[in-house]
Structure 1
């Protein structure tokens, strides 16, 4: 009965913890972002340089080497924008999930502090990844304006489209952060799983290119719906399918609640293992 109550009230508990530790969380996110580029000449500007370099590489590989086309127009610039929109979503998810298994192991000093809320560590990772996502979006938007002009107003729906992904990713990170303490092989397994997921999600190809009988299975990936809807609001002026969005959000909230409950239950043994 206790476990069920904890699960039902998990979203409220998460909000309370985040509200109580909002200053600490913001400070850790800020430190995480700047720590990546500390000591480098360009510093935080590397956040912009990396996506620009990626954009150039993918443009060359897919449009020059493979001569790939996404739409009938065959425009190279359009292909780049479509591809990069999907990569923005995938890179956010991959960064969070790949780092999650080592979160507690690399912050052992926090485990020894009784008053430190370990639950916020996955939130810090999510926040740092969200910063990079925002930078990638800024780069995407700049190129879109140069090539095509002002995007459709439907792009304002993008934060709403991404909300379920943020929620689900957070729940997955809580589970992986806990498992990473007890099972050190989790990091290697997740690295392989994320690579496989990249090719089993419509990141490098349109969903319509698959045979009809395989398309429903693609939605088992947590990225398929959000990638499709993100591209829709960013490029094709389509409003999200709200019934699918609500279903995804409900599943995401359930995953987040289960992940949070699992983390709180298992964190009692962290200090013994570490």
Structure 2
């Protein structure tokens, strides 16, 4: 798998560029939608939870604090949700790549994940701009945000390889991903902190693999804390093992793609 990725570096670059620019091709707003969509979601969630329900992070802080803490968590979750939603259609939506030309199908999940990461980078820039306007220059710890995303990247890539291959065999997976995404949105400490949940629920939240990444990302962006380097290293190792096993599953199922797509 690594050799395939290394030999197709230029192809990966071109496909990723096309993936990023092609999402809004033909629309009037173009790339502006990459900025508008996260801002729109932030406004909706802030009004609903911060103003109407008057939710406060850990029972303290104001609406502005809550908005920035919420936005930082949404950046991570939206990245995950985007990769989850697109992964199930990567093979089934590209029958020409499967049947008519010799193409390294392993690249499709990678390109899709890289495109999602690029949109997350735009959301981070929006967060930093907003924080600068409201509070001033962000903490230097924001420089560690790419490190947190890098440790999360193998999870996203593994999801792409695993679900894109499995969805060719079991088409119902596409129906389940939406339910999984909505469930994890509320079982991940996006709108609330782990500490405010009842003790039995806290154990469930901590077991959620998204929780650690969300908390680390929020720590370096908003709280100005250094990341848990040991925790990130262990997370990266576990995520890499997951990605490797997913790549093996992809390679195992690939021979049947042409018959089922």
Give CA-to-partner distance per residue, 1:206-229, whole Å, 9 cap, x none. Answer: 011123443233232221000001
State the partner residue of 1:98. 85
Q: Does 1:131 align with 2:115?
A: no
Unaligned runs of 5+ residues in structure 2 are: none
Residues in 2 aligned to 1:215 and 1:242: alpha-carbon distance in whole angstroms: 23
Q: Does 1:225 align with 2:207?
A: no
Secondary structure of residue in 2 paired with 1:37: coil
Give structure 1 regions of 4+ aligned residues with deviation exceeding 6 angstroms.
none
Q: Is the 8 A contact 1:165 1:222 kept in 2?
A: no
Q: Is the 8 A contact 2:15 2:111 kept in 1?
A: yes
Q: Does 1:158 align with 2:130?
A: no
TM-score, normalization: structure 2? Answer: 0.95
Matched residue pairs, number?
261
Deviates more, 1:119-128 or 1:45-54: 45-54
Residues in 2 aligned to 1:199 and 1:44: alpha-carbon distance in whole angstroms: 29
TM-score, normalization: structure 1? Answer: 0.91
Give CA-to-partner distance per residue, 1:40-99, whole Å, 9 cap, x none. Answer: 222111111111212222221112211111155532111100000000000000000111
Give CA-to-partner distance per residue, 1:205-261, whole Å, 9 cap, x none. Answer: 101112344323323222100000111111112122223222211110110000001
- What's the C-alpha RMSD, in Å, of the aligned pairs? 1.4
Unaligned runs of 5+ residues in structure 1 are: 1-12
State the partner residue of 2:164. 177
Give CA-to-partner distance per residue, 1:145-193, whole Å, 9 cap, x none. Answer: 0011111111111111122211111112101000110111001111111
Q: Does 1:21 align with 2:44?
A: no
Residues in 2 aligned to 1:217 and 1:54: alpha-carbon distance in whole angstroms: 26
Q: CA deviation at 1:114?
A: 5.2
State the partner residue of 1:272. 259
Q: Does 1:47 align with 2:37?
A: no
Residues in 1 aligned to 2:234 and 2:70: alpha-carbon distance in whole angstroms: 26
Q: Which of 203, 207, 220 is the matching residue for 2:194?
A: 207
Q: Which of 252, 262, 274 is the matching residue for 2:239?
A: 252
Residues in 1 aligned to 2:227 and 2:61: alpha-carbon distance in whole angstroms: 25
Residues in 1 aligned to 2:192 and 2:249: alpha-carbon distance in whole angstroms: 35
State the partner residue of 1:10. none
Residues in 2 aligned to 1:229 and 1:256: alpha-carbon distance in whole angstroms: 21
Q: Is the 8 A contact 2:58 2:195 kept in 1?
A: no
State the partner residue of 1:122. 109
Secondary structure of residue in 1 paired with 2:31: helix
Q: Is the 8 A contact 1:167 1:252 kept in 2?
A: yes
Residues in 2 aligned to 1:158 and 1:77: alpha-carbon distance in whole angstroms: 21
Residues in 1 aligned to 2:256 and 2:247: alpha-carbon distance in whole angstroms: 15
Q: Is the 8 A contact 2:98 2:105 kept in 1?
A: yes
Q: Is the 8 A contact 1:100 1:173 kept in 2?
A: yes
Q: Which of 206, 214, 221 is the matching residue for 1:234?
A: 221
Secondary structure of residue in 2 paired with 1:214: helix
